[in-house]
Amino acid sequence: MMFYMMFYSSLIITVLSVSSSCAADNTSSLRGNSIDDNNEQQRPHKSNRHLFEFSGDCTDEDYATTPYYVSSSIGNNWDSANGWGLSPNKPFKTIQHAINNKDICQTVYVMEGTYRNTYYGQSYNHNNKVVNLNGVSNLKLLADPDATTKPILQFDGPGGIFGGSASSPISNIEIAGLEIVGPNESITYEDAMANRLIKRTYYTGRGIAIWAGKSA
């Protein structure tokens, strides 16, 4: 799978591990407007990274106010009015549900587990992503700080995380601590050559593809 990103002035993506056809464990870290090490606003993360300052209107306090939690094993995509998504004990089930119900300035913590696109394993040519970020802004999509293993986003279609278009750009996004796995280990050279002109999504998917973003 190709590993492809487009970055704009207010778009920050930090991906710790992405499996692609180029390498079994690619690490990419792109940072913008990083906070100085001596700045008291800097917040350390369990992996010794730091969250970064965005150019939007949200503050660190805004992002920390009501974080969402997601678990593929124990979660439910029920209403947060009943407490779902608001704690590790009652998490949402899918990342997409958390994003679809996000607040203005939202942090989503992804707990340990494997997160797959809809109809995973049922087709070689579909348009289902694990996470669709079209039109999303002011979001931190992070591995749960208490996770002992990286959450895995596994796809067999267009990709793991997609977002942005001319009509629905994204802005102020941070993604960190997630491992993204495509079907490359199952694709032989003969399969790839046979499908190079057909371009079915199973063979052309990308770990992360950000197509359009804008300044806040």
pLDDT (tens digit, 9 = 90+) per residue, 164-192?
988 999 999 999 999 999 999 899 999 99
d(CA 19, CA 183): 9
For CA atoms 76, 18, 210, 157, give the dihedral sign.
negative
pTM (two decimals): 0.75
Contact between 196 and 2 (Cβ < 8 Å): no
pLDDT 10s digits, 112-147: 999 999 999 999 999 999 999 999 999 999 999 999
